[in-house]
Structure 1
Amino acid sequence: MTIPKTEVPALSLPLTDGSNWDLKSQKCKSFIILVFYRGLHCPVCKKQLQEIEEKLPEFEERGVNLIAMSCDTQERAQQSAEDWGISKLPIAYGLSIKEARNWGLFISEAISDKEPDEFSEPGLFIIRPDFSLYASSIQTMPFARPPMDDILNAIDFVTKNDYPARGGK
């Protein structure tokens, strides 16, 4: 489980573009945002990643690095990127159930043949450049994801007011 103001777990995953992504090698001006999504089978994830793709330049203007990741296989992650029109947002795949649990994500078992046997439920983590957790939003279901405009507004407020991380007790 991740707690605000503490260092987040290490994480390294392959990307659909053939490269590898490593959290600890990320350099950013303000924040790194990890978006854990359920996978190809999830229409709510499609909507969320498309929204992020559209807002990506606004995040980049604020010095924010974003990445989306799931427990999906390479094939399923690449199909998500292609079918959903995601070309700028990095998409990582191969998140293990153990890694998902290290981040405090909830795990579900398949209820249809469109779903993998096991996968993580969604989560969003906002991480400072020193790799300490600033904020997180974790769901047990596919619903109630934070709108990206809310996240952008929060980043503006936090940056302008030097607002500290909360919930670290």
Structure 2
Amino acid sequence: MTALAAASTFPKTNVEALDGSTITLGAPRGDYDWQLVVVYRGLHCPICKTYLSKLQEVEAAFNEQGVDVVAVSGDPKEKAQKMADEKNLDITIGYGLTPAQMKTLGVYISDPRSPEETDRPFAEPAMFVVNGDGKIQIIDVSNAPFARPELDGVAGGIKFIRSNDYPIRGTHSS
């Protein structure tokens, strides 16, 4: 795993989307100039189901700030579609994130505990806000399903950042 840092250039990464398109993570689509990339563990994760439902609820708050919203996992298309169907999601969902792509994004990768959980290594949760310059404005990478940013707060934070020309924080390494 290569950790990404605040203010670094987000590595543009192509994945397939459930709508049949190819999404480039780190490249906002349409009229948006920023992008929120939410990496989720997969269909096997009940916390992800709740988080993606909340993401759908607050998507408009991100869009109002000029932020394109994308969720992505290493699940194959069938599992990603089942997630969308089960939770009635219409947010953009990418699938098939490979272990090599996960490493490029600097996310933690876990092996399944059993075949019932899933059948492949999967990414642990992460969130990246990529600004109009392609730089990581906000980053949160977790090694466990229990620690994730509160989405309403992130949407409000982006509003503050954009309204006040607030700089990228945390640019010095520890």
Give the TM-score normalised by the residue count of structure 1.
Answer: 0.93
Counterpart of 2:121 in structure 1 is 118
Counterpart of 1:2 in structure 2 is 4
What's the CA shift for 1:31?
2.2
Counterpart of 2:89 in structure 1 is 86
Q: Give, in whole Å, the separation in 2 of the partners of 1:83 and 1:139.
A: 25
Q: Give, in whole Å, the separation in 1 of the partners of 2:89 and 2:99.
A: 24
What's the CA shift for 1:29?
4.6
Match of 1:13 among 1, 15, 32: 15
- How many residues are treated as equivalent by the alignment? 168
What's the CA shift for 1:30?
5.0
Please say if residues 30 and 62 of structure 1, whose CA atoms lie closer than 8 Å, have aligned partners that are also in contact. no
> Which one-letter code corresponds to 2:125 in the other structure?
P
Q: Give, in whole Å, the separation in 2 of the partners of 1:56 and 1:135.
A: 17
Where does structure 1 differ by over 3 angstroms across 4 or more consecutive aligned residues?
A: 27-30
Match of 2:154 among 142, 151, 161: 151
Q: Percent identity?
A: 33
Q: Give, in whole Å, the separation in 1 of the partners of 2:33 and 2:71.
A: 18
What's the CA shift for 1:21?
0.9
SS state at 2:153 partner: helix
Q: Give, in whole Å, the separation in 1 of the partners of 2:47 and 2:26.
A: 29
2:75 equivalent to 1:72 = yes
Please say if residues 37 and 69 of structure 1, whose CA atoms lie closer than 8 Å, have aligned partners that are also in contact. yes
SS state at 2:100 partner: helix
Counterpart of 2:49 in structure 1 is 46
Q: Which runs of 5+ in 1 are unaligned?
A: none
Give the TM-score normalised by the residue count of structure 2.
Answer: 0.91
Cα deviation code 1:49-92 (max 9, x no counterpart) = 000111111111111101000000011101111011101x1000
Q: Give, in whole Å, the separation in 2 of the partners of 1:22 and 1:144.
A: 26
SS state at 2:101 partner: helix
SS state at 2:69 partner: strand
Counterpart of 1:162 in structure 2 is 165
> Which one-letter code corresponds to 1:22 in the other structure?
T
Q: Give, in whole Å, the separation in 2 of the partners of 1:84 and 1:12.
A: 24
What's the CA shift for 1:160?
2.1
Please say if residues 36 and 127 of structure 2, whose CA atoms lie closer than 8 Å, have aligned partners that are also in contact. yes
Cα root mean square deviation, aligned? 1.4
Counterpart of 1:98 in structure 2 is 100
